[in-house]
Chain A
Amino acid sequence: QVQLQESGPGLVKSSEILSLTCTVFGGPMGTYYWTWLRQSPGKGLEWIGYVWYTGSTNYNPSLRGRVAILLDTSKNEVALKLRSVTAADTAVYYCARSEWGYAFDPWGPGTLVIVSS
Chain B
Amino acid sequence: EIVMTQSPLSLPVTPGEPASISCRSSQSLLHTNGYKYLDWYLQKPGQSPQLLIYSGSSRASGVPDRFSGTGSGTDFTLRISRVEAEDVGVYYCMQGLQTPYTFGQGTKLEIK
Contacts and interface: CB of A to CB of B under 8 A. Distances in A.
Interface in B17-52: 37, 39, 41, 47-51
Nearest to A107: B48
Contacts of A106: 50-51
Band of interface residues on B: 20 to 34
A44 interface: yes
Q: What is the interface residue range for chain A against chain B?
A: 20 to 34
B19 to A, nearest CB: 21
**What is the predominant secondary structure among interface residues of chain B facing chain A?**
loop
Contacts of B101: 47, 101-102
Q: Which of B55, B96, B101 has most A Cβ within 10 Å? A: B101
Interface string A78-117: 0000000000000000100000111111111110000000
Contact of B60 (A62, A105, A109): A105
Contacts of A104: 39, 41, 49, 51
Contact of B99 (A58, A100, A107): A58
